[in-house]
Every structure is written in structure tokens, then in C-alpha cells.
Amino acid sequence: MSFIKAWFKKFFAPITEKPLVVVVPSYNNALWYKKNLDSIFDQNYSNYRIIYLDDASPDKTAQLVEEYIKEKGQEYRTILIKNEQRLGATANRYAGSHLCKDNEIVLILDGDDWFAHNNVLKKINMVYSKKDIWVTYGQYRRYPSNEKGHCKRLPQSFNFRVSTCYYTSALRTYYAWLFKKIDKQDLMHNGKFYQIAGDVAEMLPMVEMARGHIAFISEVLYIYNNQTPLNDFKKDYQAQLATCANIRDKLAYQQLDK
């Protein structure tokens, strides 16, 4: 009887909602903020909050977002940060992640992108609840082409720094405590936060520290907006390649025992 109870509890007992935080770095997203925010507000999940960081957008994104948060009655779960000067997405992800409690799980959602469906947060919670996971990467689709991304499952022992292809992409999630172990200088070049490919600089240390605790989620959870002109590869592809090479040349992080 005890075996049956244990089996039932493992597979059918309700899963406790872990605390999640959606960190949204955003710049000039007056055209996309509603789609972005609606994909968060409509999640079938309760235990989450939002940190929205507007990067001094000249198109009044911050004002529009503030009004929409109030219209939707989401002030209680949302922190809106309005930068006075543009800092870049890496600086905003850094600030947002450091505003989280160590035990909170961070989900990165760019301000011009959106979640693929209304059960994304449930899926993330399930992945972190079933095993001792510290960081995840996943799969996405491009909008409007509907083309599937290139992310794939890699061995826990994979040498991420030798790969010239960035497989650990959206949806990216991690425990805040893990992100906080990244040396700030490894997210910077010439004294400033990376302006291109900062997501690579963030994920490399985390997957190196978290070996044995990394999960790849094959289900598409993220829609990557290709209609915006602000994608890194559109701004300066050669600079993106050079920056990625600079990031990979930094010292690798040691695996953590926690």
C-alpha cells in the first residue's frame, strides 16, 4: 500500500508552484508591448511576478507599458523600471536578475517577443520540480516565418566554449542564485556591458557551473520576433561574431557542487 501511495504521489499529486520571475528587457517596443505583456498576463499560473526594464525608449514604451499594466490590474505583480539612459539588454538582464531572490527562477523574455502559449510557466515549474535543475534552455519559433529554431539537446559534459553555434537559446531560465555567481566583468568589454551577444556571455558561465543540472526543453515555448530591426544579427552580424569569439576566449567556470 505504501508503494502505491508513493507512486501516486510522484505522478499525480499537484505540483507546488515555485516562485517565477519574468524579466523583460525592452527598448522601443510601442508596437509589441501589448502582445508581449498579454502572453505573460494570460499564463495559467499564479506564483509569478514581472520585472519590466525599459531602456530609455524614445517611442514612449515605458509610458504605454505603465498604462497597460494599470489597465490590466497587474500592478501588484509588476515592477516597471525606467532607465534614464540606454544601457543595453545585458545590463538590464543583469539588473533584473539581481533584483530577484536567490530561490526565484528567472525567465528571460525580450520586450518584442512573446510566450508561445498560456502554459509556459507551468511547463517551467514542472521541469524544475521533477529534477534538481538549475538552468534550462529551449526551443523557439521565428515570427512571422514560423521557422523552428536551431537549439538542441547537448551532453552535460559538452564543451560549450568551443562551439561556434549558440545552441542554448530561448527560452532561457535559471535560478537567480546561479546568475549571481557570474563575475560581472565576464559580462563586460572595455568597462561596459556587452551591447551584442550578451546572452551568450550569460549562458556560458551558467551551463558550465550547472553541469549535471541543465535541462533542454524541446517544446517550443518562445516566439522570436524577426520583424523588429533590433535583432543583433540585423544590426551588425560581423560584430556579433567577433563579440562571441571574445566571450568564448574568457576563462571557463568550474562546475559547482552547491
Cell of 136: 534550462
Residue 41, pLDDT score: 99
* Domain-embedded: residue 174: yes
Range of the domain at 127: 17-248
* Domain-embedded: residue 139: yes
Residue 54, pLDDT score: 99
State the residue for C-alpha cell 506564483. Answer: 47
How many Cα neighbours within 13 Å face the side chain of 179? 32
Question: In this predicted model, what pLDDT tens digit does every residue of 32-83 receive, in sequence order?
Answer: 999 999 999 999 999 999 999 999 999 999 999 999 999 999 999 999 999 9
Q: Are strands 114-115 and 214-225 parallel, antiparallel or unpaired?
A: antiparallel
Q: What's the pTM? A: 0.93
CATH code at position 142: 3.90.550.10
Q: How many domains does the chain have?
A: 1
Question: In this predicted model, what pLDDT tens digit does every residue of 167-221 receive, in sequence order?
Answer: 899 999 999 999 999 999 999 999 999 999 999 999 999 999 999 999 999 999 9
* Domain-embedded: residue 254: no
Q: DSSP assignment of 113-178, as one string?
A: -EESSTTHHHHHHHHHHHS---EEEEEEEEETT--B-------TT--GGG-SS--S-SSPEEEHHH
* Domain-embedded: residue 187: yes
Residue 233, pLDDT score: 45
Cell of 245: 569569439
Q: Is residue 10 very low, low, confident or very high in pLDDT (cuts 50, 70, 90)? A: low
* Domain-embedded: residue 216: yes
* Domain-embedded: residue 129: yes
* Domain-embedded: residue 253: no
> Among residues of the chain, what percentage have pLDDT more than 90?
82
* Domain-embedded: residue 229: yes
